Amino acid sequence: MNEIPAALTAEELLKIALPVAREAAATARRMRAEAITDVETKSTLTDVVTAADRAVERQVINSLRSARPGDGVLGEEYGDSAEPEPGAVRWILDPIDGTVNYLYGLPQYAVSLAAEFDGVVVAGVVINAATGDEWTATRGGGAWRAGRRLRCSERTDLSQALVGTGFGYDAKRRAHQGAVLARLITKVRDIRRFGAAALDLCAVGEGLLDAYFEKGLNPWDHAAGGLVATEAGATVAGLAGAPPGLDMVVAAPSALFTPLHDRLVELDAAGGA
């Protein structure tokens, strides 16, 4: 990876991202308190997007453009802006991760903002917009919440592991994911499905979950939370040496990663629709 230009360190990118993400979380909270409006569906009738998703993403794009005009932004709702200029940053944004939780008022939805330079995520912030809880990480600088450096779980026995996961919006994919879960659930302590990948990954970073896996995540779902989990000592990857991506994201401490990975391969967790 090329070095970030000296005038720009991961810590400085995080300093730009933090107030932008905090203001975005405040907007999400305010709009939730007012009323959920303009609810539309995307890939399926359960894949929803609200006016708040779009308003928050527009707000963040405008803020980042003011701070760093030459950067690119990849957001869930408005896609990828023009390729960033050489030496620029690509910001990766989920304006409200956990949109169904947001729709129902379940306090588990987050603004997730990551800075990627030269193809590598170097800084990230995840804010639970309902509670204000905030996780940050810089590559090589650790993962933090409330001034405390985070360490992931030290569990080594998969049968004693509390494992988070999630499901897609497509019925055929959910059927396959449910079948995988039916066979995995007897091999672990228990399963948790909180509904926001960014927060699930931060939970792994904090040791609130021993591990997490999910098929079908987009970069904006896992870019920032994946850095938090990584900087807290977890391994975050796909299957068979692949990077985390649409096929699979697995986050676990090193002692659990291989047994969970191998079980997911055996169950064809990356298969199905």
| Nearest residue to the partner ligand LIP, using Cβ | 166
**Residue 38 labeled ligand binder:** no
Single residue of 94, 116, 210, 231 touching ligand LIP by CB under 6 A? 94
The residue among 84 and 216 lying less far from ligand LIP, judged by its C-beta, is 216
Question: Is position 154 annotated in a ligand binding site?
Answer: no
Among 72, 84, 124, 166, the residue binding ligand LIP under the rule CB under 6 A is 166
Single out the segment in contact with ligand LIP by CB under 6 A; choices: 22-30, 142-150, 189-197, 257-265.
189-197
Q: How far is CA 155 from CA 160, 204, 249, in A?
A: 8, 12, 19
* Positions 49 through 88 that interact with ligand LIP (CB under 6 A): 76
Question: Quick one: which of 21, 115, 122, 196 contacts ligand LIP (CB under 6 A)?
Answer: 196
**221 is an annotated ligand-binding site residue:** yes
- CA 153, 157, 162, 168 dihedral sign is positive
The yes or no reply on residue 238 touching ligand LIP (CB under 6 A) is: no
Sign of the four-CA dihedral 65, 71, 74, 78: positive
Helix (H) or strand (E) holding 30: helix 10-34
- Residue closer to ligand LIP by CB (options 100, 255) is 100
Q: How far is the CB of 258 from ligand LIP (least distance, A)?
A: 23
**Quick one: which of 156, 152, 119, 146 has its CA closest to 229?**
152
Spell out where the chain has E strands.
Answer: 40-41, 48-49, 72-75, 79-80, 90-97, 110-117, 120-128, 134-138, 142-145, 148-149, 162-165, 190-192, 211-214, 234-237, 249-253
SS3 245: coil
Annotated binding site: 76, 94, 96-97, 221
List residues binding ligand LIP (CB under 6 A): 76, 94, 97-99, 166-169, 195-197, 214, 221
